Structure 1
């Protein structure tokens, strides 16, 4: 993407009512106005669902279209990417989805305890090299951060094309005593797969499937 396009998208994001861009200082100083008040933002009591590393926002928008009884928040540090999802949501008058530009590591500064019902992690970078372990979005530190904001019965979904990420996460979950509710190494081969998993596909996911690449899925609770 050219720098001119990025700048244009950044400017448009500033005008979108469904895009929130807190500064790092604002979050760390506990000055973020919506922490603990997301039901006020959406003006309803519906469950709050996050998509972490939402990219273009396709999955967040797809979930919002499919489940109007829930509120969805896509989170990514790259605002020029989720610009597309935010713009689509506005064009389709979807009031149950918004986007935050922030680092996922700061999640607990943007959401209060028990404020989140579900977390989706869709096609994260598997960070295969050992020295990149700390950046894997299902490592022990990340899971602890998720637990801080999740409801006691909260659910985490991991959907990935990486067999490494799937195996790593399953091993970590079992080893730490977390509760694996559902796991499959080739979700599209399972005719009983959850609708929210196979009913929504991102642009890159469709490309993976065309290349006959397996898509894996895990649904779990953090104990």
Structure 2
């Protein structure tokens, strides 16, 4: 492991707004902020919004700047990437930003029922070969339903036509309420200051001339979830390993 990465991990260990908990700890005791994020972690009663797979954390930080009366938590397993956003939040003295280092599969261990208002999925890997790893697959949606408020909102931004079409089919199959959707965000009428925030990965895809897709919808908490039975053409412009190279 390089010295730079070691320094980032050392920095992260000192940041009060960064939470890092081992799975072994979670197995032996309930997470201390579960059901208490606003009160005990942020020290307020504001709503909680998550960014899952936050990468470098820039979207989380920008959202927090736009909405000071909302608490934002960026979640990712890659601590060295998350360091950038965590450091920015510290330097900017943002009090409504936190970061949680964990696998997204574990989020139900960290949040109580109805504790989360909205979830952002920003440029997740479309996982074209592995349905259960897609962040809008039924197993993940079921986890979201367990922690979001009734009619909680999910936002998806993606360069992947495959991910967008799959998520669109998932929403239709389960009769979730669509709020907004577009296959070309930057040439649409719904573009606004918040949706114009660009992540490191988004800039990469835009530089390659790809259109950005956006879908937002409300979750229902009723019927069992169903996977859509659809054939979707795979993205031709990258490998299944999500390489940024042509």
TM-score range, shorter chain: over 0.9
- Give distance in 2, aligned partners of 1:220 and 1:66: 21
C-alpha distance in structure 1 between counterparts of 2:124 and 2:190, whole Å: 24
| Aligned match of 2:169 | 171
Corresponding position of 1:67: 67
| CA deviation string 1:170-205 (max 9, x = no partner) | 01110122222111001110133243212x111221
Q: Distance in 1 between matches of 2:181 and 2:60?
A: 21
Show the counterpart of 1:109.
Answer: 109
Separation in 2, partners of 1:28, 1:195: 41
- State whether structure 2 residue 16 is matched by structure 1 residue 26: no
Aligned counterparts of 2:159 and 2:209: Cα–Cα separation in 1: 11
1:162, 1:216 within 8 Å by CA — same for their partners in 2? yes
Q: Give, in angstroms, the shift of residue 210 of structure 1.
A: 2.6
Aligned to 1:162: 160
CA distance in 2, matches of 1:63, 1:184: 21
Whole-Å Cα distance in 2 between the matches of residues 168 and 146 of structure 1?
17
Which one of the candidate residues 198, 207, 211 is aligned to 1:210? Answer: 207
Output the CA distance in 1 between the equivalents of 2:203 and 2:145: 31
Rounded Cα–Cα distance in structure 2 between residues aligned with 1:50 and 1:214: 24
CA RMSD of aligned residues (A): 1.2
- 4+ aligned runs moved over 4 Å, structure 1: none
| Residues 173 and 30 (structure 1), Cα distance of their counterparts in 2 relative to 1, 3 Å cut | farther
Which residue number corresponds to residue 9 of structure 1?
8
- Residue ranges of structure 2 left out of the alignment (5+ in a row): 221-246
Query: What is the match of residue 36 of structure 1?
Result: 35
Alpha-carbon contact 1:107-1:145 (below 8 Å) kept: yes
The answer to whether the 8 A contact 1:28-1:109 is kept is: no
Partner residue, 1:118: 118
Instruction: Give structure 1 stretches of 5+ with no counterpart.
Output: none
* Alpha-carbon shift at residue 31 of structure 1 (Å): 2.1
Q: Within the alignment, does 1:127 sit opposite 2:120 as a pair?
A: no
What's the counterpart of residue 240 of structure 2? none
Shift of 1:11: 0.9
Structure 2 CA distance, aligned partners of 1:29 and 1:51? 26
Output aligned runs, 1:181-192, within 5 Å. 181-192=179-190
Three-state SS of the structure 2 residue aligned to 1:126 is: coil
3-state SS, counterpart of residue 194 of structure 2: helix
CA distance in 1, matches of 2:124, 2:110: 21
Whichever structure has more helix as a proportion of its residues is 1
2:198 equivalent among 188, 197, 201: 201
May I ask how many residue pairs the two structures share in their alignment?
219
